[in-house]
Structure 1
């Protein structure tokens, strides 16, 4: 017969209570598609190949409470060694949207790498007419807004 001590039960209850908000926080901070960050695309490949490359469920890593997919074990290992280097700005939400204080879902083909940082956008218009037209301003406003909106649900903005 297994006996649980009252302190053990209380600690278990506290830890379980903390786990749910942490998972919800990860979903608010990151744009997820079917539970995977970056639309399931390999964020390392944006840097090494220069193009959106679908990830493979066989090669995943966990970072900041979410799952990231990669096209190869090598890319997964590169990410694991320095995830902050490869993770997209604004949790993978649209950079142009973040500059306006919004969280807008992204599409993998609208991306740019600026000073080693991956930025994703939601549409050709957001990418070309906003992000590429005035990159520095979009990034500056996005950084400023992100501090305020990162933990807020997208539909609450």
Structure 2
């Protein structure tokens, strides 16, 4: 199935909210999901990231953006940062969210076996958008995101309507 980048970002963000993640982390996950899928990343990595709202790359990787920017001011254009195990599948997608030009980035392992991200970036050059207009997404991932997103919906009831949910009486034909 083919979707626009905005459609996937919005659906992934809603799925993250439905899975129990805070709003800002969900928003960044939505944007990173687009980068991940556009880069040919496996959809299963997105499912795994949403599996545990208390221990997930969705919580840790937004901090990676800040760490990269801080490290660039200290070390120059090449930065190496250690990642938490399990974060390597989405780390490159989150580097796509940094608002500077990243010349290259790779994931490898340190001597102690931990995953690490190494990248070269130009902090004085803004990022150039590199996303395709449409992204092919497996139907299973769309269905899973939709199921998680449905957890954010308010159940229809008289009380919810009285509080303003749904269409008003004037909106119903």
**TM-score normalised to the size of structure 2?**
0.29
Bigger radius of gyration? 2
Higher-RCO chain (CA-CA 8 Å, sequence separation at least 6)? 2
